C-alpha cells in the first residue's frame, strides 16, 4: 500500500494562558495533519510575576497532562515558562522532545539598522538567566533596551486587543524604546503577537516587529522528523483540542476569538490544576 498519507502525530502545547495560540497557528501551518492538544493555564496567569519554583511545578503538571493525552513532543509556548522550566522538564522527561521559546535576540540584531533593539517582555523573562545568556551571546555592539510590560498579558487574556487600556499600555511601554532609537522590537511573550496590529498603529510601520512563533514551528517539525519514528495513518485529518485551568466559558470565548474559529474548550482535570 502507498504510505504517502497524513501525519497523525500528537503535539502538546502549553502556555500560561491563551498567548501560545499565536504559536499554535504557526504549528498548524507547519504540521497541517497533526493532532494538536493545547493547554491554557489561565487559572494561574500571568506567569510573569510568579516564582521559578511555582512555574516549574505548573509546567510539570501540564506536561503530565499532555503526555496522558498522547503527546509525543511538547512545545513550551511561553518565554517565562521556558526560562524557568525547560531544563528540569528535559531532565524529568528525557525521552520527550521539548521545544521552548526565547526572545529573538539573534534575528533582531541582524535586522536592526539603528543598532538599537527594543525588547517587550514579562519581568520574569527579562530577569532570567536564559535571557542574560542570549544577550551575552548575540547582542554584540547592538544596544538592547528592555521593557517589562505588566498588564499586557491580561488584556490579551480578556480579548481586549483594541481597547483603550490596551492602547494606553502599548503607548507607555513602547515610548522608552522609541526614545532610545530602537527600530526593531522583539515581542518577547507569546501573548504579544495578538497585539501586533495595535503596536503598529502606535509606533508606525517603520518599526520591525519580531516574534519567534514561525521559527519554533520549524524547529518542532525538524525534531519530529528526525527524533521520532514515523507515524502515518491514511485518511486522518488534523484537529485541535483545547483545555484550560481557568473559567471554561470565558476561555471558550477568547480561544474562539484568537484561534479564528469556534472552539470547544474543556476543563483541565482537577488533578492537573
- Tell whether 138 and 87 lie within a shared domain: no
Domain end marker among 180, 211, 242: 211
DSSP H or E run through 264? none
pLDDT in tens, 75-99: 999 999 999 999 999 999 999 999 9
| Residue 35 β-bridge partners | 10, 239
Which domain CATH number covers 70?
Answer: 3.40.50.1860
| CB-count exposure of residue 139 (10 Å: 0-12, 13-18, 19+) | middle
In a domain, 1, yes or no: no
| Spatial separation of the C-alpha atoms in residues 72 and 12, rounded to whole Å | 7
Average pLDDT over residues 157-162: 96
Grade residue 221 by pLDDT with cuts at 50, 70 and 90. Answer: very high
In this predicted structure, what is the pLDDT of residue 100? Answer: 97
| Residue 242 β-bridge partners | 38, 265
Average pLDDT over residues 150-177: 97
pLDDT in tens, 97-145: 999 999 999 999 999 999 999 999 998 899 999 999 999 999 999 999 9
DSSP H or E run through 11? strand 10-15
What is the β-pairing status of strands 73-76 and 10-15? Answer: parallel
Residue found by looking up cell 501525519 in the block? 7
In this predicted structure, what is the pLDDT of residue 8? Answer: 75
Neighbours of 204 (CB within 10 A): 9
Active-site residue, 78 included: yes
In this predicted structure, what is the pLDDT of residue 3? Answer: 38
- Tell whether 133 and 186 lie within a shared domain: yes
- Among 47-51, 102-106, 229-233, which is the least confidently predicted range? 229-233
Per DSSP, the residues of 125-182 read: HHTSHHHHHHHHHHTTTSEEEEEE-TTHHHHHHTT-TTSHHHHHHHHHHHHHHHHTT-
* Bigger pLDDT: 170 vs 3: 170
- The whole domain housing 226 covers 6-101+214-272
- Give this prediction's pTM: 0.93
Looking at the 3D structure of the chain, how many domains does it have?
A: 2
In this predicted structure, what is the pLDDT of residue 64? Answer: 98
CA-angle at 171, arms to 168 and 173, nearest 5°: 105
Grade residue 233 by pLDDT with cuts at 50, 70 and 90. Answer: low
In this predicted structure, what is the pLDDT of residue 232? Answer: 58
| Spatial separation of the C-alpha atoms in residues 73 and 67, rounded to whole Å | 9
Is the sign of the CA dihedral 144, 150, 151, 154 positive or negative?
Answer: positive
SS3 assignment, position 230: coil
Phi, psi of 237 (to 5 degrees): -125, 135
pLDDT in tens, 57-77: 999 999 999 999 999 999 999
Domain end marker among 186, 211, 236: 211
- Tell whether 238 and 180 lie within a shared domain: no
In this predicted structure, what is the pLDDT of residue 231? Answer: 67
In a domain, 42, yes or no: yes
Catalytic residue among 85, 144, 166, 189: 189
User: Do residues 251 and 18 lie in contact, with contact meaning Cβ atoms separated by under 8 Å?
Assistant: yes
| Spatial separation of the C-alpha atoms in residues 236 and 41, rounded to whole Å | 29
- Tell whether 96 and 228 lie within a shared domain: yes
Q: Give the chain's mean pLDDT.
A: 94
Catalytic residue among 24, 71, 78, 117: 78
In this predicted structure, what is the pLDDT of residue 230? Answer: 75
Active-site residue, 149 included: no
Amino acid at each position: 500500500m502507498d504510505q504517502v498519507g497524513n501525519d497523525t502525530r500528537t503535539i502538546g502545547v502549553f502556555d500560561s494562558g491563551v498567548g501560545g495560540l499565536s504559536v499554535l497557528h504557526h504549528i498548524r501551518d507547519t504540521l497541517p495533519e497533526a493532532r494538536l492538544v493545547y493547554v491554557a493555564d489561565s487559572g494561574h496567569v500571568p506567569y510573569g510575576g510568579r516564582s521559578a519554583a511555582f512555574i516549574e511545578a505548573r509546567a510539570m503538571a501540564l506536561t503530565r497532562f499532555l503526555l496522558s493525552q498522547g503527546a509525543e513532543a511538547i512545545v513550551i509556548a511561553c518565554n517565562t515558562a521556558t526560562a524557568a522550566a525547560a531544563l528540569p522538564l528535559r531532565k524529568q522527561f528525557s525521552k520527550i522532545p521539548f521545544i521552548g521559546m526565547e526572545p529573538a535576540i539573534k534575528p533582531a540584531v541582524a535586522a536592526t539598522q539603528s543598532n538599537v533593539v527594543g525588547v517587550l517582555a514579562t519581568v520574569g523573562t527579562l530577569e532570567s538567566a536564559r535571557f542574560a545568556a542570549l544577550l551575552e551571546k548575540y547582542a554584540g555592539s547592538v544596544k538592547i533596551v528592555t521593557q517589562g510590560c505588566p498588564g499586557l498579558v491580561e488584556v490579551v487574556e480578556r480579548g481586549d486587543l483594541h481597547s483603550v487600556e490596551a492602547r494606553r499600555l502599548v503607548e507607555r511601554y513602547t515610548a522608552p524604546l522609541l526614545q532610545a532609537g530602537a527600530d526593531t522590537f522583539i515581542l518577547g511573550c507569546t501573548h504579544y503577537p495578538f497585539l501586533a496590529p495595535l503596536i503598529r498603529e502606535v509606533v508606525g510601520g517603520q518599526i520591525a516587529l519580531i516574534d519567534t512563533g514561525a521559527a519554533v514551528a520549524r524547529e518542532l517539525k525538524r525534531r519530529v522528523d528526525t527524533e521520532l519514528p514515523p507515524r502515518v495513518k491514511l485518511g486522518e485529518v488534523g484537529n485541535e483540542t483545547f483545555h484550560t485551568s481557568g473559567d471554561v466559558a470565558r476561555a471558550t470565548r477568547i480561544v474562539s476569538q484568537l484561534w479564528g474559529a469556534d472552539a470547544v474548550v474543556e476543563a483541565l482535570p482537577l488533578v492537573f490544576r
